[in-house]
Amino acid sequence: MSAVKVGVTGAAGQIGYSILPMICSGQMLGADTKIDLALLDIPQCEDALRGVAMEINDSAFPLLNSLKYGSDPREILRDLDIIIFLGGFPRKAGMERKELLQKNMNIFKEQGTALNEVGKPTTLCLVVANPANTNCLVLAHHAPNIPRKNFTAMTRLDHNRASFQIANRVGALTIDVKNVAIWGNHSSTQYPDVNHGTVRGGAIRPAVNDDEWLNGEFISCVQKRGAAIIAARKLSSAMSAAKAAVDHVRDWYLGTKDGEWVSMAVLSDGSYGIDTGLCYSFPCTCSNREWHIVQGLDINEFSRDKMNLTKQELTEERDEAFSA
């Protein structure tokens, strides 16, 4: 079996430092899959990136087939099978959302243009850098040579957070929780939905037996978990974000388990009344390296209101990002 070519942007950052050992040790693509690793970061981070590369080499990962790194996207992103986009412009104190969107649009416009020139029609792209949904939309817009179905943004971290909260509430393990769903934006408007999920094989709502908590504190906790981690750690989520990205790619590339779905932000096909083309998180299954939105789920009025709220935010982000 030939090696899989995996690229990581923003590779010198803290999420990169967490995700690279996971990729190289087989957690993402399996214990028998060799990896050709390509690392990209901005010129100002090249020394740090060189240090990361030294550590990867010094770790002597048996699955690492080759390693290259640099700051030229046209060189580093060429002919890759999978690219995880970690690099973006972080929000700073006093920065308006529109300014953050504009700075990231410029980054993802540049990377999308390069990807359009050197990528493959089969390249799978996961955007993690925030605002992830809209960054993904911008990237896809500027790389029209790659099918739009090959672009996704990460809400798996929110999915994993929701699963933990349910497991913790009922004294179960996270592995016992199946089919929670994250709808919408990777932001504080996202809607973590348990109405179709199970814990220990039974429906979540009767198992928790506390609708007030499920419709209030649970949702708020998942929505604001990232801020809570920053408050406690003085740094944003890195290890959990890296693990979620690995989970996302693994299920996309190798397929989801029968009867189970995961949450992925994808370019909408109009399902559930979400505008076609909007990068919106849905429950998805994966097979043959393609995602499929789960169809036919009953959406109650409470859920529809939450789904529309996050759709509105994403619509505003899209319009702001493309207004310049």
pLDDT of 230 reads: 87
**Catalytic annotation, residues:** 186
pLDDT of 117 reads: 98
Q: Report how far apart, in Å, the C-alpha atoms of 244 and of each of 24, 161, 273 are.
A: 16, 10, 27
Domain 155-323 has CATH 3.40.50.970: no
Which class for 71: exposed (0-12), middle (13-18), buried (19 or more C-beta within 10 A)? Answer: middle
pLDDT of 29 reads: 98
**Tokens 């790619």 — which residue?**
249
Binding residue ranges for substrate: 91, 97, 130, 161
Burial state string for 219-235 with b = 16 or more CB within 10 A and e = fewer than 16: bebbbebbeebeeeeee
Q: Is the peptide bond before 131 cis (omega within 30 degrees of 0)?
A: yes
Q: Report the alpha-carbon angle 121-244-261, nearest 5.
A: 75
Q: Please say whether the beta carbons of 200 and 176 come within 8 A.
A: yes
Q: Please say whether the beta carbons of 49 and 270 come within 8 A.
A: no
Mean pLDDT in consecutive groups of 10 residues from the start of the chain, 324 residues: 95 97 98 98 97 98 98 98 94 72 92 98 97 97 98 98 98 98 96 98 98 98 93 91 98 98 98 98 98 98 98 95 81
pLDDT of 93 reads: 66
The structure's pTM equals: 0.97
Given this chain, do its domains 4-153 and 155-323 carry the same CATH topology?
no
Query: What CATH class has 4-153?
Result: alpha beta
Binding residue ranges for NAD(+): 10-16, 41, 104, 128-130
- Residue 154 token pair: 């990460």
- Residue 201 token pair: 């094989």
Which of these, 80, 86, 87, 88, lies nearest to 37 by C-alpha position? 80
pLDDT of 102 reads: 86
pLDDT of 236 reads: 87
Extents of the domains making up the chain: 4-153, 155-323
Task: Dump pLDDT digits (tens) for 266-279.
Answer: 999 999 999 999 99
- Give the CA count within 13 Å in the CB-facing half-sphere of 164: 11
pLDDT of 113 reads: 98
